[in-house]
Structure 1
């Protein structure tokens, strides 16, 4: 029997109601779009109520946006790097200054709890500051070793791709909308961006603040509409694609990009495992697991859906974990006292319900949760913990992307690592132990683009200097770190030869020249030259 606490939403205390439904704000944000294909109503998932009517773009609007962005890119790339970086540092401050407004929009459009919505604000600000400060290190021309000391000067430059197409998801409507585009424009590209049509207002307000920071409007142009139509037009017209979404759609994006011989980076699905080792701090691990599994109602690419717990601590951990899960506070409210909000759509609710009912019918035990909560809102589902999940159950190796986690016992650590590595995905993982060195050793054996020790996802997600992305079917490429900005440039080598050509000259025969080169190469090796 579930004991989750429900907190009634109080419209009088809802700070998003006035902002997100203010029609003058909606009109202003809608005016940022290139859109001529009608309108679409955006609904608040937590309540089912309409938020706004937003214009929809056509493929022709995308073509016009790309054409404009391509013209602007020629001048934008010539803006000194320090000036481009200064825009990002101003943006950092604007995002923090407008944090309450942005959080309110995230809550309104996505249905998530306030504490998780704030994570998005912090992540965008950190991303802007990081790249604003590290721009020169990543993008200034670099001297390289020439073929011959003194005689050959070699350098590497970084040439922007051109127009970057960004297709961002609904689950992190602020963070994923902006974090990928920030390094793209810093690198001298321009952006044509399709935020998810379920959450366009958050992205539009964040883009508007970027304009306020000094970015030319043509350098980041938003469009709105469905994936196949508007997203497809972006893929067919831009010079590089950045996509975050499902693995199924990611494969289609990669195929279309491949046909055009353009690059792409893809953050896709996951069935992320957590390992609780025999020496883990039980209460710390239980608290961290709650955040790991149920932040943003489990609608987080890097959230945990599989918990592997050592025999020695299994019973104590399960008791502590389930007790915390049952005490989670669910609500459509917008205060800091809400622990978990709503799912985003009827489709997500149907997937969660199907996975739980299939597991229950085939013998799994529901330790907590296990049912929808229409009394709280049309798309609420209780945070759910399952035991006894077996391979024939749909939730065993298919991503649920909702508040459902399966818990498994293990006796052998090597076996646990093997089980954690099973399946097609490799996005995120987590290890809990009192011994950090041991935890890192286990982490190094896990097939995942990011692994957090004694944390679920925040340590890697918030460490902007480290790359973040998936292995196997969880994606291609990386956001964050040097990799996160250099995906948007092509390295160009420029070498200048002095005094002597790299060829026989001054009367030398080709044979004599070859012998001289052989001797020179031997000398360079003795001198320790690479």
Structure 2
């Protein structure tokens, strides 16, 4: 009989799940889409052809720090050529009958479905998503676009495509359910589409998805490059009919200024500090149940809730509900298993997008504590969830801080990582001020037993969607979505409005949104 120590060591030893190595995923990409992949790089797609141009930026996976495919960075001159070529595609595509566009998009969805697991595996390696969330990202893209395919006739009735292609610049965290979803709906509505691959990750997944779309005749352009090099072409070029941006406020502010000055249609979704308020509340079991879900993907999403604003006299009860829940969080290597044929690990999140972000967040936590924030919880590393000796520099365990100082970025900005901050308040006025700390957000929640209190306070919370004791999400079908303040600029989307944002309606139509008064929509 083996000793207890030997049995324990065997149990703790981890290996990669069979067939999930990056090399395996890469070989599958070469087999599925040889036109888009080379042995040593991915290609850009423009002028309806895959181009071996651009300087390949070295990249590593956040999962274990090993090399993965890097984006092939173009310069501004080639980007301008790509935009001009997209305009030619657009002028042809806008005259393709709706039923043919619909059939081609439907065929693309069938191809994405057929390669669902490969797309998800690429997301695991490139941006660190656990398997459950990676597959959900692919499924949400496919299911969401199918909803539009089924109902597109009514949505485009009396409407026409734009005069130029739609340019898409999106963050790295949801390549399929945000970016690919948007591309296919925009194309279904009659537009050629351009996408910039996020520099931080997702290039192989997006390349494969765009290759499958291009095979079905979808007029898609996929290019890589720095924002400084490509912004002139992807934002300011006269050929562009609409700009769709998802990202941070710093970059978003520059894009917003450009599109407003040029009078371009735009959808600009930006970060905001989403908050969860607790006021005269007693249903603590409900709060305990939802806390782990709020940490999905390490809170690296636009609708994450990193701030709790708690009535001071309820703080002890809040902690009694919150701490047991946060202690259940599972963090580790998304593909590490005891035996190669074991199921994928059931994790709440894996690494952050890269080691630099993990260090930045760790430094912010340390600085906040040094200036008076109180650490209430710091997760411990469970070594049994990692491969022996692997690089873990991109992993951050959950942290909870009480009272981040006003000088700390954690006080007023979204951390985009697994760090919760708590602010205590004594009055309703303080509650509202703390929940509105970032001057506008996408979502918020207020937990209170009194519906009348919720109805009175919710309209004063500067978030686009406010939940009563439940989290709110982005939504992409029949639900309107936008933001308050600096968290959003331009057309609101969701359901039919996503189509209206990228099509022309009756003369004088003004799209729902928060455009500046002087902005006239063409």
Task: Give the Cα separation in 2 of the matches to 1:127 and 1:481.
Answer: 10
Q: Tell me which residue corresponds to 2:484.
A: 471
Structure 1 residues 170 and 365 mapped into 2: Cα distance closer, same or farther (>3 Å)? same
Bigger CA drift: 106-115 or 312-321?
312-321
Q: Tell me which residue corresponds to 1:227.
A: 227
Task: Give the Cα separation in 1 of the matches to 2:138 and 2:446.
Answer: 27
Structure 1 residues 42 and 404 mapped into 2: Cα distance closer, same or farther (>3 Å)? same
Structure 1 residues 207 and 362 mapped into 2: Cα distance closer, same or farther (>3 Å)? same
Q: Tell me which residue corresponds to 2:356.
A: 347
CA deviation string 1:207-227 (max 9, x = no partner): 223235x333xx111011222
Task: Give the Cα separation in 1 of the matches to 2:464 and 2:492.
Answer: 9
Q: Compute the displacement of 1:49 (Å).
A: 0.5
**Is the aligned partner of 1:24 residue 2:30?**
yes
Task: Give the Cα separation in 1 of the matches to 2:67 and 2:100.
Answer: 41
Does the 8 Å contact 2:160/2:190 carry over to 1?
A: no
Q: Tell me which residue corresponds to 2:333.
A: 332
Q: Tell me which residue corresponds to 2:196.
A: 194
Q: Compute the displacement of 1:331 (Å).
A: 0.9
Task: Give the Cα separation in 1 of the matches to 2:476 and 2:142.
Answer: 12
Of 15, 29, 42, the residue aligned with 1:10 is: 15
Of 68, 77, 100, the residue aligned with 1:83 is: 100
Q: Compute the displacement of 1:356 (Å).
A: 0.4
Bigger CA drift: 464-473 or 188-197?
464-473
Task: Give the Cα separation in 2 of the matches to 1:187 and 1:57.
Answer: 28
Structure 1 residues 56 and 85 mapped into 2: Cα distance closer, same or farther (>3 Å)? same
CA deviation string 1:307-327 (max 9, x = no partner): 123456532332232222223
Q: Compute the displacement of 1:69 (Å).
A: 1.7
Structure 1 residues 388 and 259 mapped into 2: Cα distance closer, same or farther (>3 Å)? closer
Task: Give the Cα separation in 2 of the matches to 1:8 and 1:319.
Answer: 35
Runs (5+) with no aligned partner, structure 1:
1-5, 142-156, 495-530
> RMSD between aligned alpha carbons?
2.9
Does the 8 Å contact 1:180/1:479 carry over to 2?
A: no
TM-score by length of 1: 0.80
Does the 8 Å contact 2:478/2:494 carry over to 1?
A: yes
Of 59, 65, 68, the residue aligned with 2:85 is: 68
Q: Compute the displacement of 1:167 (Å).
A: 0.9
Structure 1 residues 351 and 470 mapped into 2: Cα distance closer, same or farther (>3 Å)? farther
Of 415, 429, 435, the residue aligned with 1:400 is: 415
Of 482, 504, 511, the residue aligned with 2:496 is: 482
CA deviation string 1:394-431 (max 9, x = no partner): 31112221111112334544542342123323222123
Q: Tell me which residue corresponds to 2:128.
A: 111
Three-state SS of the structure 1 residue aligned to 2:394 is coil
Q: Compute the displacement of 1:483 (Å).
A: 2.1
Q: Tell me which residue corresponds to 2:212.
A: 209
Three-state SS of the structure 2 residue aligned to 1:255 is helix
Does the 8 Å contact 2:170/2:247 carry over to 1?
A: yes
Structure 1 residues 178 and 47 mapped into 2: Cα distance closer, same or farther (>3 Å)? same
CA deviation string 1:356-413 (max 9, x = no partner): 0111101211122278999761211111111132323331112221111112334544
Task: Give the Cα separation in 2 of the matches to 1:463 and 1:72.
Answer: 27
Bigger CA drift: 62-71 or 275-284?
275-284
Three-state SS of the structure 2 residue aligned to 1:285 is helix
Across the two proteins, how many residue pairs are aligned to each other? 468
**Is the aligned partner of 1:134 residue 2:137?**
no
Q: Compute the displacement of 1:345 (Å).
A: 2.1
TM-score by length of 2: 0.81
Structure 1 residues 282 and 134 mapped into 2: Cα distance closer, same or farther (>3 Å)? same
Kindly report which structure 2 residues correspond to 1:193-342, keeping only aligned pairs within 5 A, or say none: 193-197=195-199, 198-212=201-215, 214-216=216-218, 219-237=219-237, 238-279=240-281, 281-292=283-294, 294-311=295-312, 313-334=314-335, 335-342=344-351
Task: Give the Cα separation in 1 of the matches to 2:296 and 2:289.
Answer: 12
**Is the aligned partner of 1:445 residue 2:460?**
yes
Structure 1 residues 325 and 164 mapped into 2: Cα distance closer, same or farther (>3 Å)? same
Structure 1 residues 429 and 16 mapped into 2: Cα distance closer, same or farther (>3 Å)? farther
Does the 8 Å contact 2:183/2:193 carry over to 1?
A: yes
Does the 8 Å contact 1:246/1:268 carry over to 2?
A: yes
Task: Give the Cα separation in 2 of the matches to 1:127 and 1:436.
Answer: 33
Does the 8 Å contact 1:7/1:329 carry over to 2?
A: no
Of 116, 119, 137, the residue aligned with 1:120 is: 137
Flag the structure with larger Rg: 1
Structure 1 residues 120 and 433 mapped into 2: Cα distance closer, same or farther (>3 Å)? farther
Does the 8 Å contact 1:160/1:489 carry over to 2?
A: yes
Q: Compute the displacement of 1:202 (Å).
A: 1.3
Q: Compute the displacement of 1:289 (Å).
A: 2.6
CA deviation string 1:62-114 (max 9, x = no partner): 22222222112122111222332333334444433332222111111001222
Three-state SS of the structure 2 residue aligned to 1:274 is strand
Q: Tell me which residue corresponds to 2:338.
A: none
Three-state SS of the structure 2 residue aligned to 1:60 is helix
Kindly report which structure 2 residues correspond to 1:165-176, keeping only aligned pairs within 5 A, or say none: 165-176=167-178
